Amino acid sequence: MGAAKTLESISLELPGHTSGKVREAWELPDQRRLFVTTDRLSALDRVIGLVPHKGQVLNQLAAWWFDLTADIVANHVISVPDPNVLVAVDATPLPVEVVVRGRLTGSTSTSVLPRYRAGERVLYGYQLPDGIPDHGELPEPLITPTTKAAKGGHDQPTTVEEVASSGLVEPGLWSEIQKVALDLFGRGTEVAADAGFILADTKYEFGLSPDGELLIIDEMHTPDSSRFWAASSLEDRLAKGLVPESFDKEPVRLALTATGFAGDGPIPELPAEVWEAASARYVQLYERLTGLTFVPGEQPAEERIRANLASVFPNVASSAEVAEPVT
């Protein structure tokens, strides 16, 4: 992967900069925030590498989903001035990540499959029956929340009941969030099925606008926040004892754990083919879900972003070399 093909980071002359695993964010006037989605890929709570076009896919796909689900819940989107950039309402995030699971799957310690295999039947407060096969459909979609950890920490699993009883989220608001999350998952499941995918599980983040309105924030139904499987090959692969054909970051995670890496110590170097295949999967998922052709943004991405933002936010560039906006 040449440096020109990926966006690892970017520096903008804007206040209030914060850096997450994948996104860089800055404060804007009038209770807004600017997010740049990079090509960084995180797994096992570490940034493990760069996937070409990943940031653009995530940003544009999330914006597409936000628009498609605006009848279910309001979102934080104000504008998308560049393929990798989102201008959003400066919402106050709620301290809970809302994971909805439709399948018994996953490879991390908080996922239901490893725990079910170990004999647990009460997971996240739900009583599960015996006999669910690996990657099999759950009796119904389940909300399995986690509490957000401080930077560098690990999210902790909790239950629907504990979120309300602990005061993490006001009970009435929490009831609304649960309904919204299940409605969003239902919409996502339908759209994915029409495109030949199974939406196995996903993560939603919610926040409150400055005037107290519930918003869905961050991203939605992307290959970073969700597991998407090819429906056509699922039955045959499971019959052969294989994992589902994934169009998300799970194959990279599995390639990493196959080296023995568990999140600590030096990150193993993965073959270039792993990253190239990940990029192709992300793009294919975008195109099949949206029905749109993916058009890569001009490179180098940092120069393009500065150019596209300069006319709207003059302070993002500190030199006069930024010219007309490009796409």
Residue 326 lies inside a defined structural domain of this protein: no
Q: 28-70: per-residue pLDDT in tens?
A: 999 999 999 999 999 988 999 999 999 999 999 999 999 999 9
327 domain-assigned: no
Domain annotation covers residue 203: yes
Side chain identity, residue 297: G
Closest CA to 249 of 20, 41, 60, 38: 41
The model's pLDDT over 113-153, given as tens digits with 9 standing for 90+, comes to 999 999 999 999 999 999 999 999 999 999 999 998 766 56
- For 230-292, the DSSP string reads EHHHHHHHHHTTPPP-BSSSHHHHHHHHTTT--SSSSPPPPPHHHHHHHHHHHHHHHHHHH--
Instruction: Express each pLDDT in 91-107 by its tens digit.
Output: 999 999 999 999 999 98
Whether 325 is covered by a domain: the verdict is no
Which CATH number fits the domain that encloses residue 62?
A: 3.30.470.20
Give the gyration radius of the chain's Cα atoms.
Answer: 20
| Predicted TM-score (pTM) of this structure | 0.93
271 within a domain of the structure (yes/no): yes
Q: How many domains does the chain have?
A: 1
pLDDT at 267 over 90: yes
Question: Can you give the residue range of the structural domain that contains 149?
Answer: 3-316
User: Which of 42-51, 106-115, 270-279, 292-301 has the weakest average pLDDT?
Assistant: 106-115
